[in-house]
Amino acid sequence: MKRRDFFKTTGVTGLFILFRGYLEGAPPLVPTRPAGYPTDFNAYLRIGGDGRVGCFVGKVEMGQGNMTSLAMLAAEELDVPLERVDMLMGDTDLCPWDGGTGGSLSIWQFGPVLCGAAAEARAVLLQMAGEHLQVQVDRLEVKAGVVSVKGAPARQVTYGQLVQGKRIERHLTDVKPKPVSAYTLIGTSAPRKDAREQVLGAARFTADQRMPGTLHACIVRPPAHGATLKSVDTSAAERMPGVRVLRDGNLVAVLHTFPDQARKALGLVKATFEGTPPALDDLTIRRHLASKLASGKVSVQEGDLKAAEARAAAPVEAEYFNAYVAHAPLEPHAALAQWKDGRMTVWAGVQAPFRVKAQVAEALKLPPQQVRIITPHIGGAFGGKAAGPQAVEAARLALKAGAPVQVVWDRREEFFLDTFRPAAVVKIRAGLDPAGRIAFWDHAVSGTSDREAEIGYELPAKRISATGDGGDIGTSAAGLHPFPTGAWRAPGANTNVFARESHMDLLAAKARVDPLAFRLRHLTDKRVIRVLEAAAERFGWVAGVAPSGRGVGIACGSWRGTLVAVMAEVVVDKKTGQVRVKRVVLAQDMGVVVNPDGARQQIEGAVTMGIGYALSEGIRFKDGRILDENFDTYQIPRFSWIPVIDTVLIPNPELQAQGCGEPPIVCMGAVIANAIHDAVGVRLFDLPMTPERVLEAIKKG
C-alpha cells in the first residue's frame, strides 16, 4: 500500500490517537500565560520623546539571538522600525520578572506576553492620537511610529510626541495582537542587533566588566567529587605581594588585583581533603544505569503489550547508551559582585537572573530587594548556566572583602563544576507483525527523563518508563549519578530520540523496507509527514534498504512543538573508524518563523554541536575526578568536521511560533548512527561514536 492510500484509509481515527499521544508529556502548542509576568505593558515598554522604544525583558541573550527576535515582536506589534527598539535584558531591577531563559521558550512562551503588551500599548497610543488629532481611531493608521489620518497624512503625531517618555496610565482590555497575515516584519530576516559591537570586540561579557578596586578571586577547589576541605595552608600564597586570602566557611579564596596573579597564588595554597569519592567511573556507569532500568516509573502504557508481543515475529531488543556530555561554553562562568549602600549588585552571565537573585539573597541572608543581578553578554550557556553558583561565590567574597570581587572560573573548574548532560541507558524491545508493521514497543530509560521517547508513531501496544528526571536543573535521583547533572540543550530528548530513531532503523532493516518508507508507514500526523518529505526532497533521498553502502541516514523528532526531520550523508574510514559527516539536510516546522535567518543560525549551530555529542564528546571520570579538564582531551567540533548544512523551514503560518534553539539537535545522534550503519553495515549503540568504537563494531561485524 502506498503511503497516501494508507493515510486515506486510516483517516480521522488514526489522527486522533496520534494527536492525543503527541500531547501527552508535551507542552500544548498554544501556551497558557505563565503566572508571574506583569500584566501592565509599562513593565515591558517605554517610549522616549525621540520615539525610541525601550523594551525590557527578563530573558537573556546568550547567542541564540532572542535579543533580535524579541525586538522584532515588539517592533511588529507597535509598528515601529526594528532599529528604533532598544533591548534591555536580564536586569532584575529594571526588567519584569522572568522564570529563566532556556527550553526554547523565549518566543513560544514569552513571545505572546510581549506581543500582548505591545498590542495593548499600540491600541492605547492610537486612542491618544485620536484625541490629539480629533478623529475616530478607525480613521488612523500607523507607519514607523507615526500616527496619521488616513488620506490626510499631514495630520499626524508621533508616538514620541504622544508619550514624551512618560509612563502610560491608560489601559485597554481584550486587545488582540496582529494576525499573522498582517505581519510585515516578522518572517523577514533581520541581522543580529548586537552584530556591530560583537565584531568590534566591544560587547562586554561578565569578565570584561571593570570597576575600580576590583579584586580577582580564585577559589580552592576539591580535586574530586565527594571530597571536602579538611585543612588549608595559605601562608605561601599570602607571602606573595598584593595577595589577600578570604575564608567564609568552606569557601577559601585568594584575591589579587590581577586575575593571573590570583591564579598564581592559588597554586601556592596547600589543601587537604577528606571524604569518599563515588565508586563509579566511565567504564562502569553503563552497567550501573542499566541495573536501574527495571525500577523506572511507567509513564505511558497503552494496549496489551504481552498479547502484541505474542503476535510479533522475533522481537528486536537493544540497549543504547550515551556518556556524560559537557556544556563547555567558550566563556567560563564569571561574576562580579559589588556591595554598596546596603545592596549587593552582581553582574553574572546566568540564564535565570531572577532565580539567581533569590539564591544570592538566601546565601547572604539578605531580603531579595537588596540584591540585583545584571546580565551582561553571555558567551554560550546551553543549560550550563541555569544556576549561578559563581554569583553566590562572588557575592559572599565581596561582602567579606569590602571591595568589588570578580570570580572567573578557569577551564578546569568549568569541566569539574559543570552540570553535565546525564549519561543514560535506554532499552527498547519491539517487534514486527507479519505485515511488517510495529506490533509493540517497550521503551525503558535510566539516567534521564522520558522526554521525547515517543513522537507519535502508530503503535498498537506500547510502554514507556524512566528512572530519572535528570534533565532538570540540579536534579539527579539519589544514587543515579556520581556528580550533579543538569539541563543540556533539549534535556532528555537527545537520549530518547537517539534510541528510538536507531531502533526504528533496526526494525526497518529487519522488515527489508526503506527507513523513510518504514517511518511513513507508522505516521499519520501531517506535520511529521511534511517535514520528512521536505527533508527527503531537498536531500534527494533515494529509497533503499539499509545497509545500502551509500552512508545515508534519516531521523525525525520533536521538541517544544517543533518538528524536525534530518538526513545525513557520512563517510566511514574502515581502517581508522573515523566518521566524517559530509552533508546534513534539516527540515523544521516551527510554526511561524520570526526571524528566518536567525532560525537557520540556530539550526546550523545545533547540527554542529550535535556532531560533537554524536562523535567525540563523552566525559571520562574516575574516583570522583573529572579526567577531561580542557579542550585537548575533550574534543568539540572543529572547522574541518563541519558538513554542508542545508536548512528547510516549512511555512506554517497557522501555528504560532514554537521553539527553535533546541529542537534541531535532538536527532543528531540517531541520524549519524543510522548513516554509519548504512555505510558499513554495523550499528553503533553507544554515544559518542568514537573511531575506537566504530572500529570495534566493524571488527565484530
Partner 1 sequence: MEQTILFTLNGKAVHLTADPERMLVWVLRTDLGHTGTKVGCGAGLCGACTVLVDDEPTLSCSTPLADVAGKSVVTVEGLAKDGILHPVQQAFQEHNAFQCGYCTPGMILRACALLKKKPRATRAEILEHMEGNLCRCGAHVRIVAAIEAAGKAMGGVL
Closest CA to 489 of 565, 384, 365: 384
CA distance 581 to 568: 7
Give 311 or 412: the residue with its C-beta nearer to partner 1.
Answer: 412
Identify the residue among 551, 637, 659, 669 touching partner 1 (CB under 8 A): 637
Check: CB of residue 187 under 8 Å from CB of residue 593.
yes
CA distance 427 to 465: 10
Over the range 482-496, which residues count as b (16 or more CB within 10 Å of their CB) and which as e? bbbbbbbbbbbbbbb
Identify the residue among 182, 195, 236, 310 touching partner 1 (CB under 8 A): 195
For residue 97, the 8-state DSSP code is -
Identify the residue among 640, 654, 699, 700 touching partner 1 (CB under 8 A): 640
538 touches partner 1 (CB under 8 A): no
Q: How many residues bind partner 1 (CB under 8 A)?
A: 57
Identify the residue among 21, 27, 51, 65 touching partner 1 (CB under 8 A): 65
Give 64 or 109: the residue with its C-beta nearer to partner 1.
Answer: 64
Please give the full DSSP string across 539-602, using - where no structure is assigned.
HT----PSP-SS-EEEEEEEETTEEEEEEEEEEE-TTT--EEEEEEEEEEE-SS-S-HHHHHHH
Identify the residue among 382, 416, 420, 541 touching partner 1 (CB under 8 A): 382
212 touches partner 1 (CB under 8 A): no
Q: Rounded to 5 degrees, what are φ and ψ at 354? A: -70, -35
Identify the residue among 20, 33, 143, 204 touching partner 1 (CB under 8 A): 204
580 touches partner 1 (CB under 8 A): no
Identify the residue among 272, 295, 301, 630 touching partner 1 (CB under 8 A): 630
Cα angle 543-576-320, degrees, rounded to a multiple of 5: 60
645 touches partner 1 (CB under 8 A): yes
CA terminus-to-terminus distance, the chain: 34
- Could you tell me which residues come within 8 angstroms of residue 341 by beta carbon, excluding any fewer than 6 positions away? none
Identify the residue among 178, 411, 538, 580 touching partner 1 (CB under 8 A): 411
Give 261 or 524: the residue with its C-beta nearer to partner 1.
Answer: 261
Question: What is the grid cell recorded at 87?
Answer: 533591548
Compute the least distance from the CB of residue 326 to partner 1, in Å.
10
Compute the least distance from the CB of residue 490 to partner 1, in Å.
14
Compute the least distance from the CB of residue 535 to partner 1, in Å.
18
571 touches partner 1 (CB under 8 A): no
Compute the least distance from the CB of residue 331 to partner 1, in Å.
4
644 C-beta neighbours (distance < 10 Å), count = 10
Question: What is the grid cell recorded at 34?
Answer: 505563565
203 touches partner 1 (CB under 8 A): yes
How far is Cα of residue 475 from the mean position of the Cα atoms in its chain? 17
63 touches partner 1 (CB under 8 A): yes
Compute the least distance from the CB of residue 419 to partner 1, in Å.
16
- Among the candidate windows 219-227, 536-544, 635-643, 678-686, which touches partner 1 by CB under 8 A? 635-643
Please give the full DSSP string across 315-332, using - where no structure is assigned.
-EEEEEEE--B----SSP
Q: Name which of residues 589 to 608 contact partner 1 (CB under 8 A).
A: 597-598, 601, 604-608
Closest CA to 658 of 89, 183, 57, 31: 31
Compute the least distance from the CB of residue 420 to partner 1, in Å.
15
Identify the residue among 39, 198, 295, 576 touching partner 1 (CB under 8 A): 198
Question: What is the grid cell recorded at 60?
Answer: 537573556
Compute the least distance from the CB of residue 325 to partner 1, in Å.
12
The mark string for 19-58 relative to partner 1 (x by CB under 8 A, - otherwise) is ----------------------------------------
Compute the least distance from the CB of residue 57 to partner 1, in Å.
18
Identify the residue among 331, 452, 454, 662 touching partner 1 (CB under 8 A): 331
CA distance 686 to 693: 8
What is the rounded (10 degree) CA torsion for 49, 52, 57, 61? -150
Identify the residue among 237, 609, 682, 689 touching partner 1 (CB under 8 A): 609
Give me the residue label for grid cell 518572517. Answer: 187
Binding site for partner 1 (CB under 8 A): 62-65, 191-192, 194-196, 198-205, 207-208, 210, 257-261, 328-332, 377-380, 382, 408, 410-411, 597-598, 601, 604-609, 630-632, 636-640, 642, 645
